[in-house]
Structure 1
Amino acid sequence: MNNTFSDHHQIGMVSTFSELVNTNFQGDQNVLCWYRNLDGDFNEIVSQLQLKENITEVYPEDLLSLQLSEKGCIARKIILGDLQSLTDYGALPSLNLIKSYDRDDELDYISTDVYSYHVDRSPVGTETFLCTYYGTSSDILPNDQAIQKILIPGIREKLKALHDGPEEEFEAFLEEYYFDLHYQPTSDAQPINLGSGHLWKLAVDHPDQQVLPCVHRAPVENANEYRLLLIC
């Protein structure tokens, strides 16, 4: 078992897909990791896929149409297996080839894009699953090392000026534009990088959730390198 992850009290370690989906979050634990050292050549798959937009969804038939080496075939089988397992579980997995996400640079004091530390919110009970097969991988932050940006006085004052409406509607305004989902690391924060090949389950903010949602962000991509990410 990997000590880098198991040393963190917010991360629970599992060894099968069944354990990943059937283990509930509890206490401080709002992240589960199915730790895997994957065989296969994922770079070969990425090099053959066609990027149509900055984020291009890749479908099973796209993978099946590739002419791959033995190592490439192993990688393809792993991805198809993950997609099938999550679909059978009832999730809606998406495999994305990513050059970059859209940036939100409209306001210089708060960003609402996925490169900013944030939590996911859902009106129904769900979780976020993700696995980076190739390229840079996401970071998470312990909740006690993250400050909700709308609680930082300078940012809050600027948002109140931007709102320019009745005080009683301010909180709804923050939710409507997703400002309340974004966080700033504390000065001593130590982000945890999720690495490649592991399948992760992150806690989401929803009405039935018993634990704090997981604070995470997308990584800045390496120059001239695409990411291959499964997410749902």
Structure 2
Amino acid sequence: MSRLKDKIALITGGTTGIGLASAHLFRNEGARVLITGQDTQRLAAAQKDLGDDVVAIRSDASKIAELPQLAAQVKQHVDHLDVLFINAGIAKFAPLEELTEDLFDEIHAINVKGVVFTVQQLLPLLGKGSSIVVNTSINARLGMPGTLAYASSKAAARSLVRVLAGELAKRGIRVNAISPGPVTTPLYDKLGMSAQQLEERAAQMATHIPLGRFGTPEEIANAALFLASAESSYFTGGEFVADGGWTQVIP
């Protein structure tokens, strides 16, 4: 396959889940792929899995001071980018009564500020015809109890996509969002729940999904590939919702 033949793609948060699945798919579709991750062990494991031709860069999207260094490291390997998939993010939940300023700031640092300043630092590498894809969430659309900080960060990211699309259109750069529903990824393993609690939560959430199941990282990667490729050349400022029908259909 060659939907990204001769293209160069950077995927932030590319070590697990949707990011890793997208790295595999983009590479198989002909792209030269760079990934980032903040955990050195996961980064090394992802690079081994993907192959030596994939560039792995340690970077923490929540630390804005590190992003100029990321741009400098990318420039050491490539002279431009055709695709920027901003996938790095975190999901942590707490009801209003338990929400702390530290938790709110931690979530918004990566899910909002990380988007803005990653684009800002890498913008000089993006030219006419390039595509930026931002991983948001259907939580931006849902008033799900306990997700106040996370949902507000994803709603902000969705709004950023619209504004960035408007600002960058004159440069010929497209900006779009993917909004996944529940996806089977290691993200859920990081919520501090027991295996039984995770199973119970997943079963409860699945009742809201008309297709009756969580999505897979590969299914979301396919959506990212479409937005990254020339097949979506008339798409910008939009949102690709991949949620098994949760926000569109009454199950």
TM normalised by structure 1 equals 0.28
Which structure's relative contact order is higher, taking Cα pairs within 8 Å and 6+ residues apart?
Answer: 1
Name which one, 1 or 2, has greater alpha-carbon Rg.
Answer: 1
TM normalised by structure 2 equals 0.27
Structure number with the higher strand fraction is 1
Structure number with the higher helix fraction is 2
